Structures are given as structure tokens and as C-alpha cells.
């Protein structure tokens, strides 16, 4: 277990390969930015059967992708809450392709809250067989040049544009049509 209470950063993947399995990562702080797990500097991050919790602060990310690299999450529970400006289960800022498989991402709190926030300009990502909820939107893709692929997932909170979807549904099990 990684407990970063008070410092706002849990697992920091910087260059090389970082893998976490069967563990819990917790970051809590009143600082500006809180990341439970972060990818930067061309790192390769793999999380399997991990619970990732980020809370407090202004910008709160359970998983934050900030520079060229790769992130693979399988059977991950990610929760971001309590941020006054942003709360994101997973948030990207640059060309970090990510894959979510059988994950549960939740975002709640003040300001904007998204289960997935893709603000990158490069490759988007792939989401399969997952449950994603956000108070503002379940999934937000700001990348107008690359679709975010979402399949067979429960999307609680709605979605934005630039998504390629198949077989998705909402919290009432009604079909979700992606724009």
C-alpha cells in the first residue's frame, strides 16, 4: 500500500516501466494538485487489480497522464473526489495512449468531475467492459483529431463528442449513443 496522505502524490512513474499489482494507492492533500498515480517522461505504467484513491486539493486525479508514455489499467478501481476545480478518475494532458479494461472509475466533488478526461492531442485511448461515472460527464474527449474508443461499458453521467462506441449503456441500462 502506498499512502501519500498530506503530500498529494502517490505512485509516480517517471521513465522506464512501473507495474503495480494487487495493491492500494492513496493520495490525499489540501495542495493544488493531487495524483494517486502519475505517468510522465515516456514511462510505461501498468496497474492490475489496484485500488487508486485521490482526494482533496484543487485538481484531483486518481490517475494522471502528463507526458509521452503508455498506461494500461486492468481490474482497477479509481476514485477521485473532493477537488474544488477538477476531479478525474483518469486524466490525460499529452499523447499518452491508455487502455482501460474491466475498470471502475468514479469522479465527484466541486467543479468539473469526469470519470475519464482526455485532453491530449495525440492518440486517445480504449475503454472496454468498464464502469465509469462522473458528476459532470462519465467521459469527456477534447481531442478533435482522435476518437476515444468505448465498448461494452456502463457510462453514468453522459458523454461528450469524439467517441467511437459500441454496446454501451447508462445507469438505468438504457443504450448510450455516442456523438
Q: Specify the pLDDT at position 42.
A: 78
Q: Which of 10-14, 59-63, 105-109 has the lowest mean pLDDT?
A: 10-14
Average pLDDT, the chain: 89
Q: Specify the pLDDT at position 108.
A: 96
Q: Specify the pLDDT at position 4.
A: 53
Where residue 21 falls among pLDDT bands split at 50, 70, 90?
very high
Q: Specify the pLDDT at position 136.
A: 96
Structural domains present in the chain: 2-166 (2.160.20)
Q: pLDDT tens digits, residue range 88-143?
A: 999 988 767 799 999 999 999 988 999 999 987 777 789 999 999 999 999 999 88
Is the confidence at residue 56, as pLDDT, over 80? yes
Where residue 6 falls among pLDDT bands split at 50, 70, 90?
low
32 versus 64: the higher-pLDDT residue is 64
Q: Specify the pLDDT at position 40.
A: 81
Is the confidence at residue 3, as pLDDT, over 60? no
Q: For residue 96, what are the contacts with CB-CB under 8 A and spacing of at least 6?
A: 39, 65, 66, 67, 68, 69, 70, 71, 120, 122, 123
Is the confidence at residue 2, as pLDDT, over 60? no
Amino acid at each position: 500500500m502506498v499512502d501519500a496522505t498530506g503530500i498529494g502524490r502517490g505512485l509516480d512513474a517517471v521513465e522506464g516501466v512501473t507495474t503495480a499489482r494487487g495493491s492500494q494507492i492513496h493520495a490525499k492533500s489540501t495542495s493544488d494538485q493531487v495524483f494517486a498515480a502519475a505517468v510522465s517522461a515516456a514511462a510505461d505504467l501498468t496497474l492490475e487489480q489496484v485500488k487508486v484513491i485521490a482526494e482533496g486539493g484543487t485538481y484531483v486525479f486518481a490517475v494522471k497522464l502528463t507526458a509521452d508514455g503508455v498506461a494500461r489499467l486492468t481490474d482497477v478501481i479509481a476514485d477521485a473526489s473532493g477537488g474544488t476545480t477538477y476531479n478525474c478518475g483518469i486524466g490525460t494532458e499529452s499523447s499518452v495512449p491508455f487502455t482501460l479494461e474491466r475498470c471502475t472509475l468514479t469522479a465527484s466533488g466541486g467543479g468539473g468531475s469526469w470519470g475519464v478526461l482526455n485532453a491530449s492531442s495525440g492518440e486517445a485511448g480504449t475503454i472496454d467492459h468498464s464502469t465509469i461515472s462522473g458528476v459532470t460527464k462519465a467521459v469527456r474527449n477534447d481531442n478533435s483529431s482522435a476518437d476515444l474508443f468505448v465498448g461494452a461499458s456502463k457510462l453514468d453521467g453522459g458523454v461528450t463528442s469524439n467517441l467511437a462506441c459500441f454496446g454501451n449503456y447508462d445507469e438505468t441500462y438504457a443504450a448510450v449513443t455516442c456523438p
